Amino acid sequence: MQPNNSEPLPGSAELKQILALDPLSISQRGDFVKHFESIANVLLNQYSLETGGLSHRIAEIEFYLCGTNHDDVFTHQDPMQQTSANWYFHKAGTNYKGGSYKGLDITFGKSGYGGILLRALSVVETGEYIEGSCNVVNHILGLNKVDGQVPEIEDFVKSGFDLDVTKVSSLYLKKTDFEERKMFSGPRVGLTLKKKDGDRLYYIMRPYRFLTFPQEVRKGRPNLVLGLYAQGMELKDIQKISGCTAAVVKKYCGLYDAGKDAPIDDFLGALKTDDLCKLCGLLNHLNKDK
């Protein structure tokens, strides 16, 4: 029996408290990653995403927070991201993004703009793995057809949908007794240095991506390898966890080491994989004590 909409689900208050992170209580920006890791472990191991009659494990997420003493300029900074424990379908202005630009966040934080981007889901009933922020949204919409047609986002959010992630609707989070999976972290996917002003050089390679199905990763696999290497993991262990060949792991990590002395101007604009590896090595070296 599905819980009544008027009654809070078990674990709802706990989840809302966890998502109500107060940036003002964290004095050092280098300490935010520990708080993100704590939230990530809860979302990836203790709550299921329910939609279209199927349960999903949240398998990969990325954190974005801009405001107070954490000015991550890669955050969208949509007004909805000033709320906590709500769904935010990505927008450009007042319109929902379409095509490959679709995305879905869980909003968080007591101040500033905070969004936790859903990058991958694993269907509990079938084991199907959905990877990529756009594909996650397409999957959710595809499970909620109306008269046999996949709805647009603007139609999906009109009927039977609640912004509150803890309220039973066409999309919600539910406390679930999952077997705990080990969590891994690394740099976020798809960010580039169009310019080097402000704090871009600090935030672009921060390990704000968290995932629990490393061998399923196809998008942003170099980021996974680089994250593990930056944490001091041995190459053979990185190979085992990531599913990459020994040659690929050795190449990525070698480029990471080579990048420590590279000039930053080499990395402005679009990043190829080799550039990504070198930039990660350079910035982790420059920011190691920050």
Residues 6+ apart with CB under 8 A from 207: 33, 185, 186, 187, 227, 230, 231
Give the model confidence (pLDDT) of 237-267 as tens digits. 999 999 999 999 999 999 999 999 999 999 9
CA distance 116 to 60: 10
Average pLDDT over residues 47-72: 97
The pLDDT-based confidence of 3 (bands split at 50, 70, 90) is very low
At residue 1, the pLDDT reads 34
The pLDDT-based confidence of 7 (bands split at 50, 70, 90) is low
The CA-based angle 224-61-39, given to 5 degrees, is 110
CA distance 112 to 79: 10
At residue 288, the pLDDT reads 78
Say if residue 19's pLDDT is above 50: yes
At residue 254, the pLDDT reads 98
At residue 215, the pLDDT reads 96
**Which CATH number describes the domain made up of 12-175?**
3.10.300
Q: Please give the radius of gyration of the chain, using alpha carbons only, rounded to the nearest integer.
A: 19
CA distance 65 to 261: 29
Q: Where are the domains of the chain?
A: 12-175, 184-286
Give the model confidence (pLDDT) of 74-119 as tens digits. 999 999 999 999 999 999 999 999 999 999 999 999 899 999 999 9
